[in-house]
Structure 1
Amino acid sequence: MITTREGGHSRPPFDSFNLGGTVGDDPAALAANQRKLAEGIGFGPDRLVWMEQIHGRTATLVDGPTTTPVEATDALVTTVPSLPLAALVADCVPVLLGDPDSGVVSAVHAGRVGARIGVLVNALKTMQEAGARIERIEALLGPAACGECYEVPPEMQADVERHLPGSACKTRSGTSGLDVRAGLWEQLAAAGVSRIGVDPRCTVESPELFSHRRDGPRTGRLAAVIWAEPEEQQ
């Protein structure tokens, strides 16, 4: 599931359902939002697993709730049922992955830097090491900055395209751009993932979503959350 910025407790500029803990929001409002999210999907607030996202390539296997965000990682993987994993974004691509047969799931934070250096590849590898099979994995690419809104210098575009083929594009004004979500789709397909869904919303263009590129550094974060149901509930 993917949240929006609506229905929370945070005041501007984090209004109102901010779930990011490092953006400067009031801690009480953040805690209330995290509690509302957890309860809304049927869990206690201490059950949700968060990440200390650093735009890296590390994928971490977790086996239970944590009292603090998992350190220095941009992908979480678990085999534990009813353990919701969360990725926070405000223009980067959240990727949710699951193998319904094995129950292995993953939440990935894939921004330009992380996608370029292979965070999604490492998440898939960690899932397979935990018992998932690539041909069974289903993926959802969540809302992110679209290529028409994501202008970058030509040199950066060429560099990312070399590492993430399919990401180079033109912006709405005809300048060099990046569609990281398109590049990740190509990467998933090349890895053998055939069930790929895409949330087509652009965070920059959609006022109900947080966007760092649109609103600047003082804005909130939306969450993409995944968990596996226990076998008797599947």
Structure 2
Amino acid sequence: MVTPENAMLTAGPLQDAEGLTHGFFTRQGGVSGGIYESLNCGVGSKDDPANATQNRALVAAALGVAPDRLITPYQIHSATAVVAERPWEGDAPQADAIVTKMPGLAVGILTADCAPVLFADPEAKVVAAAHAGWRGAVSGIVESTVEAMRGLGATPENIVAAIGPAISLSVYEVGQDFKDSVLKDDSDAAPYFETDESTGEPHFDLSGYVADRCARAGIENVTEIGLCTYCDEARFFSYRRSQHWGEEDYGRQIAAIVLS
């Protein structure tokens, strides 16, 4: 039987760190059906809200916390990181990263092609989860997350970062306008574009670029899981794949981290 716990992915450096639990959860092991099969954690999707809520409870259990102790932001493709000390009271804040030093409070983000990034400073006991789409990455979501972690006592040289499954370079065709826009804001992104010889269109290495932004923020220990959400339908939801297939909506997988 597939469960969220035995289907989730982990990153070695975070797995080796004491005092925390993390997971890049796949789409497997939940209760949703149809195009949302089965661990859809996107409460903003058109899936039955009861299914998404139950799926999030399954994820919380895999992390060892109560359902209300797993929190995610209202993601807006920004560079905004928020600090959490307790579960949200009312609506989730509009942000793309959550930072905490509170034991037992699992912080997570949702993705369906964008790069999920989990951070931890095991010495300072500070963890974070960030949603790095191209807009957020270019505008500085990684740096905002690191700065918020520093505010809680973390230091970049002690931070471990892991980048989970995301759309890969080979299938992330973006167009010349996209490339021009990114390079206008960050000329150092140039190495992360490659031109497809058959189409002449540029492709973008999102995970590689996010790893570079981590390094620029002073993080020396960065791991990429290196799996493609678009290519692996059995394990991952993908916004772009849903668009190519003409589906009316798509599910979201979750990545989360918690201090023991």
In which range does the TM-score fall when normalised by the shorter chain? Answer: over 0.9
Tell me: CA distance 1:79–1:19, structure 2 relative to 1, closer, same or farther (3 Å): same
The CA deviation string for residues 202-226 of structure 1, in whole angstroms up to 9 with x for no partner, is 0000111000000135110000101
Aligned to 1:193: 219
Whether the aligned pair in 2 keeps the contact of 1:147 and 1:171 (CA below 8 Å) is no
Pairing 1:224–2:255 present: yes
Pairing 1:13–2:38 present: no
How far apart are the structure 2 equivalents of 1:192 and 1:51?
Answer: 25
TM-score (norm 2): 0.84
The match for 2:163 among 119, 133, 141 is 141
Unaligned ranges ≥5, structure 1 = 230-234
Whether the aligned pair in 2 keeps the contact of 1:49 and 1:69 (CA below 8 Å) is no
Deviation of 1:159 after TM superposition, in Å, equals 2.4
Please, which moves more after superposition, 86-95 or 33-42? 33-42
TM-score (norm 1): 0.93
Deviation of 1:15 after TM superposition, in Å, equals 0.8
Unaligned ranges ≥5, structure 2 = 1-22
The match for 1:168 among 190, 193, 210 is 193
Please, which moves more after superposition, 152-161 or 3-12? 152-161
How far apart are the structure 2 equivalents of 1:116 and 1:195?
Answer: 20
How far apart are the structure 1 equivalents of 2:90 and 2:72?
Answer: 7
The CA deviation string for residues 90-117 of structure 1, in whole angstroms up to 9 with x for no partner, is 0000010110000111100010111111
Whether the aligned pair in 1 keeps the contact of 2:63 and 2:258 (CA below 8 Å) is no
Whether the aligned pair in 2 keeps the contact of 1:46 and 1:67 (CA below 8 Å) is no
Deviation of 1:175 after TM superposition, in Å, equals 2.2
Deviation of 1:27 after TM superposition, in Å, equals 1.2
Aligned to 1:61: 83
Tell me: CA distance 1:213–1:201, structure 2 relative to 1, closer, same or farther (3 Å): same
Aligned to 1:118: 140
Deviation of 1:179 after TM superposition, in Å, equals 1.1
Pairing 1:177–2:199 present: no
Aligned to 2:64: 42
Aligned to 2:228: 202
Whether the aligned pair in 1 keeps the contact of 2:137 and 2:213 (CA below 8 Å) is no
Q: Secondary structure at the match of 1:13?
A: helix
Please, which moves more after superposition, 160-169 or 215-224? 160-169
The CA deviation string for residues 59-106 of structure 1, in whole angstroms up to 9 with x for no partner, is 001111124553110010011112110110000000101100001111
Tell me: CA distance 1:221–1:68, structure 2 relative to 1, closer, same or farther (3 Å): farther
Whether the aligned pair in 1 keeps the contact of 2:123 and 2:158 (CA below 8 Å) is yes
Q: CA RMSD in A?
A: 1.5
Whether the aligned pair in 2 keeps the contact of 1:59 and 1:77 (CA below 8 Å) is yes
Query: Which amino acid in structure 2 is aligned with residue 88 of structure 1?
Result: L
- State the percentage of identical aligned residues: 34
Please, which moves more after superposition, 171-180 or 36-45? 171-180
